[in-house]
């Protein structure tokens, strides 16, 4: 390939070559100077000062509360928004600058970080057709969840979170088999780990499809699980609408893994909160016992839904600790986004086509204007105090689940939120009625990736010396249940 290029260049007349080089330089210069002659439409939006033009400057300040992981990164770096230890940074950002914030991506690219209810209503509501998932999100998912498409990382010196930004470009590097080879040859442990993960996900999806087909064959029409229903619907769809085998596998992967890590993240945080708050754990236990005593049999879905402490604890934990703290969108065309200013007035900002928006799920879930001055505290009983989930101008957050944003809102909100709710409640009923849950002496940290996950931190003189994924908790069997062979649920 390079010999072709050098042959081509050697045959080109020097004059033509010079014109091409000058033209390329002109385009680059024009792009670099654009901010000087065309003032930014986002110039009045507050936000942290840019410090690095190349990697984007998310913040001009190092937040002491962000922990060692963040203070170790260079200031003014996209890595801060995507840093594994960057959760407090996201919280501080919204507390400091409010619901509409300007942050910076690569090459000074201006982006918005939005938690304001009015703006979110517009983006996820009546204007939702003007926004789409970012190319980064789509391509990364295609790379990781799509079969044989592992092609992210030839840039071994970048961390994976940063590499994610390059996925849209890298995914165009030739056909799938070539990208696969590139990844196989990349001498980087993180890249190889993603490749193995992707392979396991793909193989699992293939196995699930095969099992579902076998189940359908044996049980004919009496199959009710979601994957068999999908397969059957696909079989009877017209040829034009039918999903290919690759698309089917991709759907299964997204469904299984979109459901798994989010739910397990939520459950981890719930168990942890109950461990550190034995009083509230006991409230749940008592109401479960009372419900069992009055029903005298397994609780049905309505009876489970009617347990007030269980419900309040789930809502409050998902509010304060959403497993997915933000999602991103890209503007398909120029749009105006209305938002409330700190003084309570309505303002608006016009965003150019292609602007990247961070939809701040965690930020919106903690807005004092919506949740009150104790917004940053875990207080399940706030859910007993009536509906105060509107901001000062009467705006509700457009979250699909009780006005919290954890499952998002609008047409691309979580399709599995009801399933997640009931699944988590059933698991908690089983665990809390059988075990007393308490914390261990381990130091737990909550890591930010696309989804939050816990790990155990070992420190020496204030420095992290090791970290291991997991959440050790003490589970003590409650005496009266030691002879149980069956749970009442």
d(CA 428, CA 167): 38
Per CB under 6 A, the list member of 113, 131, 407, 446 interacting with ligand HEM is 407
Per CB under 6 A, the list member of 62, 208, 254, 464 interacting with ligand HEM is 254
| Closer of 379 and 412 to ligand HEM (Cβ) | 412
Judged by CB under 6 A, does residue 138 bind ligand HEM?
no
Q: Which of residues 314-373 bind ligand HEM (CB under 6 A)?
A: 323-324, 327
Residue 358 contacts residue 113 (beta carbons within 8 Å)? yes
Answer positive or negative: Cα dihedral of 16, 17, 23, 27. Answer: positive
Per CB under 6 A, the list member of 100, 114, 266, 273 interacting with ligand HEM is 266
Strand-strand pairing, 435-439 and 443-447: unpaired
Judged by CB under 6 A, does residue 263 bind ligand HEM?
yes
Q: C-beta of 273: minimal distance to ligand HEM in Å?
A: 14
| Closer of 133 and 436 to ligand HEM (Cβ) | 133
Q: C-beta of 417: minimal distance to ligand HEM in Å?
A: 6
Closest CA to 77 of 97, 60, 98: 60
Please return the burial class of 466, using the count of CB atoms within 10 Å of its CB with bins 0-12, 13-18 and 19+: exposed
Alpha-helical runs (H) found in 38-172: 67-72, 79-82, 87-97, 117-124, 135-145, 160-163, 167-170
Residue 317 contacts residue 266 (beta carbons within 8 Å)? yes
Residue closest to ligand HEM when measured from CB atoms: 416
Closest CA to 433 of 320, 321, 304: 304
Per CB under 6 A, the list member of 96, 232, 277, 412 interacting with ligand HEM is 412
Judged by CB under 6 A, does residue 262 bind ligand HEM?
yes
Residue 303 contacts residue 295 (beta carbons within 8 Å)? yes
| Closer of 423 and 436 to ligand HEM (Cβ) | 423
Per CB under 6 A, the list member of 61, 176, 230, 259 interacting with ligand HEM is 259
Judged by CB under 6 A, does residue 284 bind ligand HEM?
no
Cβ–Cβ contacts within 10 Å for residue 155, how many? 14
d(CA 477, CA 483): 10
Judged by CB under 6 A, does residue 416 bind ligand HEM?
yes
User: Pattern 86-125, binding to ligand HEM, x per CB under 6 A?
Assistant: ----------------------------------------
414 annotated to a ligand binding site = yes
Mark the segment that binds ligand HEM (CB under 6 A) among 146-154, 169-177, 178-186, 410-418. 410-418
Give the footprint of ligand HEM on this chain (CB under 6 A): 133, 254-255, 258-259, 262-263, 266, 323-324, 327, 406-408, 412, 414-416, 419-420
Please enumerate, by residue number, every residue annotated as part of a binding site for heme.
Answer: 414
């Amino acid at each position: 390939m390079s010999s072709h290029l050098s042959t081509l260049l050697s045959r080109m007349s020097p004059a033509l070559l010079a014109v091409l080089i000058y033209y390329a330089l002109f385009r680059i210069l024009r792009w670099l100077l654009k901010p000087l002659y065309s003032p930014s439409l986002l110039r009045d939006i507050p936000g942290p000062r840019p410090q690095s033009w190349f990697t984007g400057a998310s913040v001009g300040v190092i937040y002491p509360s962000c922990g060692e992981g963040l203070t170790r990164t260079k200031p003014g770096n996209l890595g801060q928004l995507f840093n594994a230890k960057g959760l407090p940074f996201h919280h501080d950002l919204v507390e400091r600058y409010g619901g509409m914030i300007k942050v910076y991506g690569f090459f000074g690219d201006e982006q918005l970080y939005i938690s304001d209810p009015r703006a979110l209503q517009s983006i996820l509501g009546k204007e939702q057709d003007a926004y789409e998932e970012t190319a980064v999100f789509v391509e990364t998912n295609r790379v990781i969840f799509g079969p044989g498409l592992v092609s992210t990382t030839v840039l071994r010196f970048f961390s994976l979170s940063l590499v994610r930004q390059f996925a849209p470009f890298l995914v165009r590097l030739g056909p799938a088999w070539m990208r696969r080879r590139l990844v196989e040859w990349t001498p980087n442990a993180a890249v190889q780990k993603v490749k193995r993960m992707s392979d396991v996900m793909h193989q699992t999806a293939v196995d699930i499809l095969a099992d579902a087909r076998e189940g359908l064959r044996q049980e004919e029409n009496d199959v009710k699980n979601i994957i068999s229903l999908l397969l059957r619907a696909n079989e009877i769809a017209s040829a034009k609408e039918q999903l290919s085998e690759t698309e089917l596998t991709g759907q299964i992967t997204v469904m299984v893994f979109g459901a798994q890590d989010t739910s397990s993240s939520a459950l981890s945080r719930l168990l942890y909160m109950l461990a550190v708050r034995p009083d509230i754990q006991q409230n749940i236990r008592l109401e479960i016992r009372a419900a069992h005593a009055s029903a005298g049999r397994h609780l049905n879905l309505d009876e489970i839904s009617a347990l007030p402490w269980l419900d309040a604890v789930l809502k409050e934990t998902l509010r304060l600790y959403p497993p997915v703290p933000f999602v991103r969108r890209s503007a398909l065309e120029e749009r105006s986004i209305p938002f409330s200013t700190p003084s309570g007035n309505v303002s608006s900002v016009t965003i150019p086509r292609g602007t990247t928006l961070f939809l701040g799920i965690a930020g919106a879930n903690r807005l004092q204007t919506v949740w009150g001055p104790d917004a940053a505290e875990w207080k399940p009983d706030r859910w007993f105090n009536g509906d105060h989930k509107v901001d000062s101008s009467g705006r509700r957050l457009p979250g699909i689940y009780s006005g919290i944003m954890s499952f998002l809102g609008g047409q691309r909100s979580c399709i599995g939120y009801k399933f997640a709710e009931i699944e988590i409640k059933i698991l908690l009923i089983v665990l809390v009625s059988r075990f007393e849950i308490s914390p261990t002496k381990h130091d737990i940290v909550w890591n930010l990736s696309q989804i939050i996950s816990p790990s155990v931190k070992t420190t020496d003189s204030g420095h992290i010396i090791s970290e291991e994924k997991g959440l050790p908790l003490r589970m003590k069997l409650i005496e009266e249940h030691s002879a149980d062979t069956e749970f009442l649920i």
